[in-house]
Amino acid sequence: MGSSHAYAHALRWLRPSLTDIFLLFAIYWLCIASPGSWQSLLKDGDTGMHLRTGDWILAHKHVPVKDIFSYTQPDSPWYAFQWGSAVVYSTLNAAWGIKAIAFLAGVTIALWVTVVMQAMIAMRVHGILAVILALAGANAASIHYLARPHLFTMLFLGLSVWLVETDRQRPSWRIWLLAPLTVLWTNVHSGFVILFVYLAVVAGGSLLEHFAGVSTLRSAQRYTMAACACAAASVANPYGIRLHLHILNFLSGPVATSLVDEYQSPKFRGEPQYWFLVLLFGALMLAGVELLRKRIADAALIAVFGAMALVSARNIPLSLTVLLPLAGRALTRLWGKAARNADHGSVSRTFYLQGASFAARCSGFTVWAAVVIVAVAWLTPAASWPTGLDPKYFPQKLIQRNDALLGSARVFTTDQWGDDLIYLYHGRQRVFVDGRSDFYRPEVMQDYVSMMNGGPGWKDLLDRYKIEVALTPAGSPLSSLLTEDKSWTRRDRDADADIFVRSAPLTALEDTAPSRSRLGN
């Protein structure tokens, strides 16, 4: 009996499932067939900054506690809370180049989509409906498909929803896997705090369901204890509880609330945003239906995470991770009720019954999932892999032509191009600002915005910060002002960017060319 059970268990891992096939399709659709392929995942400069942070950590054998990249706040306290991701990026880059970072990002996105689909299957959502919702959610979240550590938060939240929602159906010991998951999560990305929000809403909703007479008090106690266990686990990071206070201070401060675009409300001007809008409105209507059934926790989760996405575009993928399984479960219940009342042989009834067979074949990941990932990496043509950050978004050729100038001067540029300079110069070139919006003081960020937009006192600020070179987007307000200012000279330009130098020290800067190029991979 025992041997037959072991054989069946081994066979389950060896037999390919529809989940593995879905993962292969997700990788192909999201990373290979999409415009720009793997290169499109490297259009954010933060990837380069995280990579060089990992280089620094591996070289110094400890996590930095003071700034290593800027000349505006040198040696200021810095919480490198994404240090785990940075080390992974650095290790991959050293072994296979930046293409490995893009590959990791693509696989993580595909795994997230697959986990969301599989969570719905585990929650008994109609199989075909689960696939449709997962693919629609993947489209809606595509504006955030970047090789950055936030992808781990998307994946880990998907796993958390899978664990919690299946536990709400049938409690098991697996819910306590959230604690070790939190330890890993806390050290790769600051988004781990979203787990506390999710568990708090589940616990609070369960408590209200107890008062409404549809649930026991034990459920609220269980998820409160799970939240406490995860909170305790999250302290296992290089900064302890100070990390939590830092994140809270940043999220409530002026930089996040008014200066950084991705923390602002979404602008519904493209296909992904419209997809999200449709999914959100659908989920909100289903929340009303669930509230009538006194499923208060589900309705509260949809309301809270929907509101979070409307407050900050950064929360859209996280919102979808929670909303889609809950909406799928509610839709399946309504569809099942209609199918049972339909005539035998009707299209609706037949199609509904096929969902159970489809779901049974989505039995979870097997060893073939790993084979799929390795095969994609092995079979992708060399010409398809990126060799650096996406040149559509960074003036790489202009920087290369002016290597000596940019590598030896105090440069003012955008935060994204500051990341690029950190990447290209291996962290040796200090920048005004970069992608670490939680690090820079509000007054520095205000000065940055004022100079870049040509606001009042822009010229005095350039003088006060002793800026020697300005690398500006072509056609930007600052570029136009420097073109007309006699104390600045345009040194070089291309279709996307201009390089300006102060007229007086131009010769001195040219004489400081290094003996070899400072640029590299």
pLDDT averaged per 10 residues, the chain (length 521): 55 74 90 85 96 98 96 95 97 97 97 95 90 95 94 98 95 96 97 97 96 90 97 97 94 82 85 93 94 94 96 94 96 85 68 68 80 90 92 94 94 97 96 95 95 94 95 96 94 96 60 40 51
b/e code 107-144 from CB counts within 10 Å (16+ = b): bbbbbbbbbbbbbbbbbbbbbebbbebbbbbbbbbbbb
Angle, helices 442-452/477-484, rounded to nearest 10 degrees? 60
Q: Is 490 exposed, middle or buried (0-12, 13-18, 19+ CB in 10 A)?
A: middle
Within 10 Å of residue 370's Cβ, how many Cβ atoms?
11
pLDDT computed for residue 368 by the predictor? 83
- Cα separation of 149 and 234, whole Å? 17
What pLDDT is stored for residue 515 in this prediction? 33
Token representation of residue 292: 């009538």
Which pLDDT score, from 0 to 100, does residue 3 have? 59
Q: Quick one: pLDDT at residue 501?
A: 96
Q: What distance in Å separates the CA atoms of residue 398 and residue 493, rounded to the nearest whole number?
A: 7
- pLDDT for 335 equals 85
Q: What is the DSSP string of 153-194?
A: HHHHHHHHHHHHHHHHHS--GGGGGHHHHHHHHHTT-GGGHH
**What is residue 18's predicted lDDT score, i.e. its pLDDT?**
84
Whole-angstrom distance, CA of residue 73 vs CA of residue 255: 16
Residues 6+ apart with CB under 8 A from 505: 468
* Euclidean distance between CA atoms 404 and 395, whole angstroms: 15
Q: What's the pLDDT at 340?
A: 76
Q: Tell me what pLDDT residue 19 has.
A: 86
Whole-number pLDDT of residue 517: 42
